[in-house]
Each structure stands twice: as structure tokens, then as C-alpha cells.
Chain A
Amino acid sequence: MIRFLTLCGLLAVLASPAMAGGPFPPITSEAVKTECAECHLLYRPQMLPAKSWAAMMADLANHFGEDASLAPGTLKEVTDYHLAHASDVDQPRRAKKFLAGVDLSNPPMKISDTPRFIRKHDDVPVAAFTSKAVGSKSRCQKCHTKAAEGNFEDDFVVIPGYINVFGVLVKKVWE
């Protein structure tokens, strides 16, 4: 009986969101929360390795075609936070998953270029990213309805203009 209960307990733990990945930990730096969410979704530091963040923070004046430069003090805080929570530094499994397959000698500059992103979206048609309602791969929150809270679980994914029929994506032609 005790053994059975332990087994149940073990199964419950295994099935809990913490083990399945769960949402990303909340971002605790006020500077990051304000400065890195002015133009887009607040991306998670655990999604890119330290080398990528270091390169990005060193050239914010040329940030994907835009000037995102910061005052020196703020820059240091924002950089330190990203380096401390990078995919090859932070502990949670979520970080490890985003590190898998990354070539650390030539790491991607975009989360949407990481092996995990590519693998997880290979079923999503290109047109679903470029549609008017979404715009680009970088706009995670257009499909991941809880992305702002760091939750990318598949239970909360809705692709605008598509429905999921038994695992197959079908374009809503009537829209």
C-alpha cells in the first residue's frame, strides 16, 4: 500500500508542470522589464547563450536595424542579468532545452534561429508567421497567448487564421 502511494506521488510529481518545463521564471530586474519590453515582447534570457547576449548588448545602437542604446549604468545591469540567466549558464531545464544543438562557436543572434525554435515550429507554415495578424517569427505573443508571462506551453498556443484538427493545422479558408 505504501509502495502504491509512493508510486502515485511519484507520478504526480512527474506530471507536474515543473517537470514538464512550465513557464519561465519571472524576470526580477526592473531595468530589464522596462528597457527590453519597449519595442517588443520581453524575451527570456534563458533562450540564448551568454555569447549571443554579450554580442547583442555590445551593439545596441545597431539592434536589428534600430537604435536601442542605453545609458551606461542601465546597460551594465541589463547585460549582467542576461549573462547570468543565459541558456548555457542558468540551471532550469528550460534553459538546457534552448541550449541543445546550439553551435557555441557561432551562436544565433535570434531566438527564432535557435535549433529548439526551428524544431518546435517545423509544422507551422511560413504563411502563418508572415500573415497580417502575426507579422514575423519574433512576435511570439501573437500565437503564444501567455508569452508575456513566460509561458510557451502548447496548451496556450493559438495560430491566428488556423485551426488544429487532430494535430493537423488547417487554414481557415472562410476567414
Chain B
Amino acid sequence: MKMLSLAIALSTVLSATLGANTAQANPARDAIVAAFAAQAKAENPSFAGFSAAAGNTLFNSTHSGGKPDTPSCTSCHGTTPFATGETRAGKVIEPMAVSKNPGRYTDTEKVDKWFFRNCRSVLGRECTAQEKGDYLTYMISQ
């Protein structure tokens, strides 16, 4: 039973990544998503794959619990994944959508560092592996 649900989880992840692969394949990025999937599975046995819709909600919603100046991911990133954003100190942030910016999410250390900082700034806590995977799946689909 356990084996089966793992297989389902893996195939969901695989199909999600493969689906995206047709648009923008990148081994480093795929490995990052796969690592979050393994972690999400470990954190939650009923993990059922990542959802671009949930990633969209995470990115676009106004949250509470974080730092007052940054209630949303879009406080700094552009209001859409295709738009440029600006840090609070005035530096331009290139778009987050993979189709707009193919170099995105290909360096594990960079991805980990910014999820750690930005989730704490916006949500007041670290993001779960599920949330990180949802976010990446959304940006890969954009």
C-alpha cells in the first residue's frame, strides 16, 4: 500500500515535471523540484503531487504574520510572473516566470537561501516543501 502511494506520488511529480519539460527542460531545475517532492512525501504521507494553482495562490495572496512591509511575494517581485519587480532598496528584480527568465531556479543554494528569507519575511515562517514545490510548478508552467 505504502509502495503504491509512493509510486502514485512519484508519477504525479514526474508527469508534472515532464509536462513542463516540453516547454523548458533543465536537469538542474528538475532535480530541485524532485528533491522537494521527496521531502514533501517524507513530511506528509498523503502527499499527492504539486499544484500550480496552489503556487499561484501563494505568490499572489496577501499574507499576515510576516514583516509589515512585505505582506506578499508581489511586494518585491512583479505583480505578474512576467513583470519585473523592485527590492525595497530600489534594485530591479528580473521576472520570476521560467519562460521569461530561463536561468531561474537552477541553483539549489540560491533557491534555498531565498525561500528561507522570503517565506520568513512574507509568512513569518519557513515554507513547507509542498509550498516550495507548488510555487516552482507554477513558475515553470508560466
Contact = CB atoms under 8 A, between A and B. Distances in A.
A64 B121 CA distance: 12
A139 B89 contact: yes
B118 A67 contact: yes
A66 B121 contact: yes
A136 interface: yes
B113 A71 contact: yes
A67 B117 contact: yes
B91 A39 contact: yes
A65 B69 contact: yes
B67 A40 contact: no
A40 B93 CA distance: 11
B67 A66 contact: yes
A69 interface: yes
Interface string A50-93: 00000000000100111111110000000000000000000000
Interface residues of B, number: 16
Interface in B91-137: 91, 109, 113, 116-118, 120-121
Secondary structure of the B side of the interface? loop
Contacts of A64: 88-89
Contacts of A70: 113
B70 A66 contact: yes
B125 to A, nearest CB: 11
A77 to B, nearest CB: 14
Interface string B38-77: 0000000000000000000000000000011110000000
Contact of A136 (B70, B90, B116, B117): B90
Which interface class (under 10, 10 to 19, 20 to 34, 35 or more) fits A?
10 to 19
Given A65-B67, A65-B68, A66-B70, A40 B91 contact: yes
Secondary structure of the A side of the interface? loop
Nearest to A34: B110
A138 interface: yes
A65 B75 CA distance: 13
Given A66-B67, A67-B121, A40 B89 contact: yes
B22 interface: no
Interface string A131-175: 000011011001000000000000000000000000000000000
- Which among A39, A66, A136 has the greatest number of chain B C-beta atoms within 10 A? A66
Contacts of A139: 89-90
Interface string A116-133: 000000000000000000
- Which among B67, B69, B91, B109 has the greatest number of chain A C-beta atoms within 10 A? B91
Nearest to A71: B113
7 contacts: A39-B91, A65-B68, A65-B69, A66-B88, A67-B118, A67-B120, A70-B113
Closest 5 CB pairs of A and B: A40-B89, A67-B117, A39-B87, A67-B121, A139-B90
Interface of A: 38-41, 61, 64-71, 135-136, 138-139, 142
